[in-house]
């Protein structure tokens, strides 16, 4: 039996390690964004980089998102491999033109003749009372628009492996990391934000969902925090004799239809859980995929849980009411099973 001690890293350190190793491997890789130098990124994803690589490759920018994200596009077109950090995804409003009209479309409109090998990394998620302009995930807003790979890893192992893949990918990748899963000392301490992360470099594909808990009675599809909440709910459901299969979507675009379809063919029931707005969102996309490709496999109507089409409110009682959690998932599955 191998008893070697596991190497445990928080989400933010796993990300920083991926970036650091890629910067060592490829001199074209550099990072730019607000407070990513001495501060190490507000959510710690660039910790230690400036000390190692200096301010020439780790650039603190002014509060000028259009300029520095646009500059990342321009540099990528010249063969560099920039990683730009948009501090909170909510700030996309001031720079979305660069992102969706340029980063996402130039490769296509050039007939494939221009490559933009860049990563736009950004913090997502709520639950810590930061209100409507700092708590969104906006998964679907990005995944809706063609031309960007959009990923949202949910644990340190995947954060590292998917960051390495994102940097090496020749396409623009929007890399969403969840604030609560960074393992930061000043946020709620979650066990799932610390994980075994090997030191040597490795990759995790950008187009594969993962079954994180096997079950035969119902499939729950989640992403980032919702995956963890689904696992929590599944443990409780198991005590009631219900075995839920939980899928961590990991990648929003492209979306891994195969893993979802295979699972519902086994369980015949589906609940999709999202920390984004309900309408026109990921829950609708997954439901539509199943309705199109496995309709006759289903034994109960598909069910969805997401933010009920309101901005994220500040007050704790309100925020907890709108963001799905383990209880709501548990109750929803119970209801689905009772109805069947």
Ligand X SMILES: Cc1ncc(C[n+]2csc(CCOP(=O)(O)OP(=O)(O)O)c2C)c(N)n1
Order across the sheet with 29-33: list the strands.
58-60, 29-33, 81-88, 119-124, 173-178, 149-151, 251-253
At 210, list the tokens.
Answer: 């993962």
The answer to whether 185 contacts another protein (rule: CB under 8 A) is yes
Nearest to 224 by CA among 252, 253, 264: 252
CB atoms < 10 A from the CB of 91, how many? 17
d(CA 142, CA 216): 32
Residue for token pair 């979507």: 249
Residue 117 or 183: the one with the smaller Cβ distance to another protein is: 183
Residue for token pair 């709520």: 126
Residue for token pair 């689905």: 336
The answer to whether 211 contacts ligand X (rule: CB under 6 A) is no
Stretch that binds ligand X, among 18-26, 86-94, 196-204, 252-260 (CB under 6 A): 86-94
Which member of 71, 77, 80, 94 binds ligand X (CB under 6 A)?
94
Q: What number of chain residues touch another protein (CB under 8 A)?
A: 45
Active site (annotated) includes residue 178: no
d(CA 150, CA 158): 14
Indicate which of ligand X, another protein, none lies near residue 145 (CB less than 5 to 8 Å, by partner kind): none
- In the complex, minimum distance from the CB of residue 187 to ligand X, in angstroms, rounded to a whole number: 17
Stretch that binds another protein, among 34-42, 168-176, 192-200, 325-333 (CB under 8 A): 34-42
The answer to whether 63 contacts ligand X (rule: CB under 6 A) is yes
Q: DSSP characters for 93-111?
A: GGTHIIIIIIITTHHHHTT
CB-CB contact of 175 with 143 (8 Å): no
- In the complex, minimum distance from the CB of residue 295 to ligand X, in angstroms, rounded to a whole number: 44
CB-CB contact of 80 with 129 (8 Å): no
The answer to whether 42 contacts another protein (rule: CB under 8 A) is yes
Stretch that binds another protein, among 37-45, 229-237, 242-250, 253-261 (CB under 8 A): 37-45
Nearest to 253 by CA among 145, 114, 136, 121: 145
Indicate which of another protein, ligand X, none lies near residue 279 (CB less than 5 to 8 Å, by partner kind): none
CB-CB contact of 216 with 245 (8 Å): yes
Which member of 91, 96, 168, 300 binds ligand X (CB under 6 A)?
91
Residue 101 or 133: the one with the smaller Cβ distance to ligand X is: 133
Please report, as ranges, the residues that interact with another protein according to CB under 8 A: 34-35, 37-39, 42, 60-67, 90-91, 93-94, 127-134, 185-189, 308-311, 313-322
Which residues are tagged catalytic?
Answer: 134
């Amino acid at each position: 039996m191998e008893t070697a001690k596991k190497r445990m890293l928080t989400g933010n350190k796993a990300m920083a390690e991926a970036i650091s190793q890629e910067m060592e491997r490829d001199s074209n890789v550099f990072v730019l964004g607000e407070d990513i130098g001495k501060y190490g990124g507000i959510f710690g994803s660039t910790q230690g980089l400036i000390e190692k690589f200096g301010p020439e490759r780790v650039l603190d920018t002014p509060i000028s998102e259009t300029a520095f994200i646009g500059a990342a596009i321009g540099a990528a077109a010249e063969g560099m491999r920039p990683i730009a950090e948009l501090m909170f995804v909510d700030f996309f409003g001031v720079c979305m033109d660069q992102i969706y009209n340029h980063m996402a479309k130039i490769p296509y409109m050039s007939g494939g003749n221009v490559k933009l090998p860049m990563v736009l990394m950004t913090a997502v998620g709520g639950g810590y009372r930061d209100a409507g302009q700092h708590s969104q995930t906006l998964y679907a807003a990005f995944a809706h628009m063609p031309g960007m790979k959009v990923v949202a890893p949910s644990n340190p192992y995947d954060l590292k492996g998917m960051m390495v893949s994102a940097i090496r990918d020749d396409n623009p990748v929007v890399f969403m990391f969840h604030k609560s899963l960074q393992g930061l000392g000043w946020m709620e301490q979650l066990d799932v934000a610390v994980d075994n992360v090997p030191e040597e470099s490795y990759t995790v594909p950008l187009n594969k969902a993962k079954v994180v808990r096997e079950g035969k009675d119902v499939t729950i599809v989640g992403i980032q925090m919702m995956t963890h909440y689904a696992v929590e709910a599944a443990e409780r459901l198991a005590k009631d004799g219900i075995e839920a299969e939980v899928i961590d979507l990991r990648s929003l675009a492209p979306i891994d239809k195969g893993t979802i379809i295979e699972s519902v063919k086994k369980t015949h029931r589906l609940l999709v859980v999202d920390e984004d707005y309900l309408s026109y969102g990921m829950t609708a996309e997954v439901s539509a995929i199943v309705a199109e490709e496995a309709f006759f496999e289903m034994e109960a109507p598909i069910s969805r849980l997401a933010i009920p089409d309101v901005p994220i409110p500040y007050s704790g009682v309100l925020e907890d009411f709108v963001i799905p959690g383990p209880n709501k998932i548990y109750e929803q599955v119970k209801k689905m099973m009772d109805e069947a």
